[in-house]
Structure 1
């Protein structure tokens, strides 16, 4: 079995990748700084699920990917084979408000990991990138050759990370792959996302709040499909140096999404509109032909089915999750 280091493994996507690896019998070390970007109680529950899934095959280390000594200590024993870099300072809007913060984790931290991966002979380095690298729309759906003109500091750091991975593949012979995620959602997702806010408000008899005219569209990707793409890369050797879109291939407008959440929750509410938010992309839509060809990637969960599953999960976990969602609504607005 493979020993995998998952950075940012206490977060939403990272913890799902971790439990996916553990369920398949692998050994996982999670490195996470436990940044309170959102409520740490969610990350603590994520880690509980990881421990339950892995037992003595799971180890958690609290620390930063920018800590060169710590990263080298984790890799120096020689038994880590693969790194999944999910550590990131997320948030398009947050990066506009504080543009320096994402650089430290998303760029400097990535360089620390890549340098250590070269030094200690890591077999495969899988980097989490983002559809935010595209920015301005030239045509849709985005394929990987579409122009990359990020519209936020977050998108810039993710694009820089892709280029660093490419260089480490070409110059230092580290096998790297970057996956461009398209708006990932599902159980245990960040509490300040659009779907969580829509669900919370509907279950409490309040209308979903849409920022802008609601005609902006997103390619929402269910987290299980993201996990499947990542785990395929454990053994696949056809993607060295590649950048791959990982999306659902289908889009929905934010207005349609809000209406669907109303239907799924059975709420007797309408829609509410507010001013648009700065740096939000107007449309996203993934062409996954390349991932389909190289990884046999085929997204299995459409947005309507995924929202239904999320609403069911929300209801089952409402006693602990909803207070965190309500708290996040007091300090930030929904992110699509």
Structure 2
């Protein structure tokens, strides 16, 4: 079996690759894993260092918008797990062109190549942000898409393209939509690694607005476990929400990180709120739970403590990234 993992040198993609090559997923125990990654600022070969010597790993550096390269890399592939995306909301607000190019055109390029190569399963990894913002309750997969940032709009567009390739061509696509991920190897622009590394360096941390925006937190290991459940048993053409089950305001999360690093409230620097900042995200995981047996397995307190400890012990990984901007 051959698995193509796009964005496999990024935060979530590299975790999936490390797990796959370490025998964690029974259906992939003998699989060849091909990583296609452009190695933009958020992609890092060091993320694959623990499995770099595996004879089942092949790394291809390239752009998912490069049709010729994608077609070559897709040959003989049985499963595509598509992580590659521009994903930072603030960057999309500052400039959205690269988000549209990578997330929309790149996804279409992959879908077309997978169709022509007669790939057996295509997992398109998306985000809960495509739903917009919800004041109460949780989104089922049938909720209308109401994205509010250029990033989430580009992801919603790619979701619709994935659906269209199933409806029009019969390509066996599944879409997963996750809540906010955290864990080791996450690029230090996202809130948990940014706040953690700043606090470890004795620097202030920027808290948007009133700090009452709510997010559901999902450990990267649970996310990848859910993705593999969908890859193994999800119904073609279906969407599956993957959530962590821990909702916190940004202020509550900040307090936990202050406590974990031995810092106090003086390190919090309130900043002007992000444009169109979604107030609350919450996904309903009933579908994936009932159909595929998914439940988050990493307790948030344990996962957060382990994550803070990882950043504390791996300065050699994140310090060069922050120094390089």
| Same-fold call, TM cutoff 0.5 | yes
Q: Confirm whether residue 136 of structure 1 aligns to residue 133 of structure 2.
A: yes
1:247-298 CA deviation, whole Å, 9 max, x = no partner?
1122001111111111112224533312111132111112111111122110
The whole-number CA distance in structure 1 between the counterparts of 2:243 and 2:17 is 20
- Higher mean alpha-carbon deviation, 219-228 vs 164-173, is at 164-173
Alpha-carbon shift at residue 143 of structure 1 (Å): 1.8
Partner of 1:318: 315
Q: Confirm whether residue 125 of structure 1 aligns to residue 122 of structure 2.
A: yes
Structure 1 SS opposite 2:231: coil
1:93-132 CA deviation, whole Å, 9 max, x = no partner?
2112212211111111111111111111100000011111
Structure 2 SS opposite 1:128: strand
RMSD: 1.7
- Whether the 8 Å CA contact 1:126–1:178 is kept in 2: the answer is yes
Q: Confirm whether residue 12 of structure 1 aligns to residue 17 of structure 2.
A: no
Partner of 2:46: 45
- Whether the 8 Å CA contact 1:249–1:287 is kept in 2: the answer is no
The whole-number CA distance in structure 1 between the counterparts of 2:159 and 2:56 is 30
The whole-number CA distance in structure 2 between the counterparts of 1:207 and 1:138 is 30
The whole-number CA distance in structure 2 between the counterparts of 1:32 and 1:282 is 32
Alpha-carbon shift at residue 139 of structure 1 (Å): 4.0
The whole-number CA distance in structure 1 between the counterparts of 2:71 and 2:316 is 40
Partner of 1:155: 152
- Whether the 8 Å CA contact 1:239–1:294 is kept in 2: the answer is no
> Which sections of structure 1, spanning at least 5 residues, go unmatched?
329-336
* Of 205, 209, 223, the match for 1:208: 205
- Whether the 8 Å CA contact 1:205–1:268 is kept in 2: the answer is no
The whole-number CA distance in structure 2 between the counterparts of 1:289 and 1:122 is 28
Partner of 2:32: 27
* Of 226, 242, 247, the match for 1:251: 247
Partner of 1:111: 108
The whole-number CA distance in structure 2 between the counterparts of 1:155 and 1:274 is 22
> Which sections of structure 2, spanning at least 5 residues, go unmatched?
24-28
Alpha-carbon shift at residue 327 of structure 1 (Å): 5.1
* Of 276, 297, 302, the match for 1:300: 297
The whole-number CA distance in structure 2 between the counterparts of 1:269 and 1:287 is 33
Alpha-carbon shift at residue 138 of structure 1 (Å): 5.9
The whole-number CA distance in structure 2 between the counterparts of 1:231 and 1:307 is 23
The whole-number CA distance in structure 2 between the counterparts of 1:216 and 1:326 is 29
Partner of 1:220: 217
Instruction: Assess, with a 3 A threshold, how the Cα gap between structure 1 residues 215 and 327 changes in structure 2: closer, same or farther.
Output: farther
- Whether the 8 Å CA contact 2:135–2:280 is kept in 1: the answer is no
Q: Confirm whether residue 91 of structure 1 aligns to residue 72 of structure 2.
A: no
Partner of 2:26: none
The whole-number CA distance in structure 2 between the counterparts of 1:92 and 1:266 is 29
The whole-number CA distance in structure 2 between the counterparts of 1:10 and 1:153 is 24
- Whether the 8 Å CA contact 1:5–1:30 is kept in 2: the answer is yes
Alpha-carbon shift at residue 207 of structure 1 (Å): 4.2
1:197-255 CA deviation, whole Å, 9 max, x = no partner?
2212322334432111111111111100011011223321x421111111112200111
Structure 2 SS opposite 1:147: coil
- Whether the 8 Å CA contact 2:133–2:280 is kept in 1: the answer is no
Q: How many residues are aligned here? A: 318
Alpha-carbon shift at residue 187 of structure 1 (Å): 0.1
The whole-number CA distance in structure 2 between the counterparts of 1:50 and 1:283 is 37
Partner of 1:332: none
Structure 2 SS opposite 1:83: strand
- Higher mean alpha-carbon deviation, 186-195 vs 279-288, is at 279-288
- Higher mean alpha-carbon deviation, 252-261 vs 19-28, is at 19-28
The whole-number CA distance in structure 1 between the counterparts of 2:199 and 2:104 is 38
